[in-house]
């Protein structure tokens, strides 16, 4: 169960907005976290608190394959991203990095910035504690759950390597 305060963004939040390419000369999480969402909201990294949640519209994470995007989000303190849908590569990267992401096509429009929400990964539910509403979220596919149970893709590779 993940509970936190919401930061709200729109549709098609691209990876250049999540972490601008001008900062990709480093892969240090702390450095990347400082610039998270900078081109959408220059103050975001200073306002966000550990445990906060990003809620966005369609196609979150579209664009580049940079894993620096989920790394920056995690390093900024964000513990979960809820969106109507996710771009394909971002979806893989988030799971590989251990950043929980949830598709909640019917709830996103009701959730506003500053709301408190609770994300129930097992039951596939997002609860809006501010409004007292519950929205269904897409279940995490069995294969992705298996990956998560092995500690992400690297855990799976480690198992395959016999270590």
Partner 1 sequence: MTIAEKILADHAGLREVVPGEIINAKVDIALGNDVTAPIAIESFKDLGADAVFDPERVVLVPDHFTPNKDIKSAQQCKVIREFAREQGIQHYFEVGRGGIEHALLPEQGIVVPGDLVVGADSHTCTYGAIGAFSTGVGSTDLAAAMILGELWFKVPASMLFIYYGRRGDFVTGKDYILYTIGLIGVDGARYRAMEFTGEAISTLPMDERFTMSNMAIEAGGKVGIIVPDKVTLDYVKVRAKRPYKVYKSDEGACYVETLEIDVSKLTPLVALPHLPENVRPVEEIGNIPVDQVVIGSCTNGRITDLRQAADILKGKKVHPYVRLIIIPATQEVYKEAMREGLFEVFLEAGAAISTPTCGPCLGGHMGVLAEGERAVATTNRNFVGRMGHPKSEVYLSNPYVAAASAVAGRIAHPREVL
Residue of 105, 133, 103 lying closest to 118 (CA atoms): 133
Quick check: helix, strand or coil at residue 56? strand
Residues in contact with 92: Cβ distance below 8 Å, sequence separation at least 6, in sequence order: none
Write down the least CB distance from residue 31 to partner 1, Å: 9
Q: What are phi and psi of 60, to 5 degrees?
A: -65, 135
For residues 6 to 25, the per-residue mask of contacts with partner 1, x marking binding by CB under 8 A and - elsewhere, is: ------x-x-xx--xxx-xx
Our CB check for partner 1 shows the closer of 87 and 117 to be 87
- Nearer of residues 129 and 157 to partner 1, judged by Cβ: 157
Footprint of partner 1 on 105-144 (CB under 8 A) = 141, 143
Phi-psi region of 147 (alpha: psi -120 to 50; beta: other; left: phi over 0): alpha
- Per CB under 8 A, residues contacting partner 1 are 12, 14, 16-17, 20-22, 24-27, 38-40, 42, 58-59, 62-68, 85, 87-89, 92-93, 96-97, 141, 143, 152-154, 156-158, 160-161, 163
């Amino acid at each position: 169960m993940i509970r936190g305060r919401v930061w709200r963004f729109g549709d098609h939040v691209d990876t250049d907005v999540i972490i601008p390419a001008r900062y990709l000369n480093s892969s240090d999480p702390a450095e990347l976290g400082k610039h998270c969402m900078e081109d959408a909201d220059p103050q975001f990294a200073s306002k966000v608190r550990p445990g906060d949640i990003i809620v966005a519209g369609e196609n979150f994470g579209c664009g580049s394959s940079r894993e620096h995007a989920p790394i920056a989000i995690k390093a900024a303190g964000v513990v979960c991203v809820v969106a109507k849908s996710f771009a394909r590569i971002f979806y893989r990267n988030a799971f590989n990095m251990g950043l929980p992401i949830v598709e909640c096509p019917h709830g996103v429009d009701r959730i506003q910035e500053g709301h408190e929400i609770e994300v129930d990964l097992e039951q596939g539910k997002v609860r809006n504690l501010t409004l007292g509403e519950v929205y269904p979220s897409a279940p995490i596919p069995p294969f992705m759950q298996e990956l998560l149970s092995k500690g992400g893709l690297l855990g799976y590779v480690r198992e395959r390597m016999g270590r």
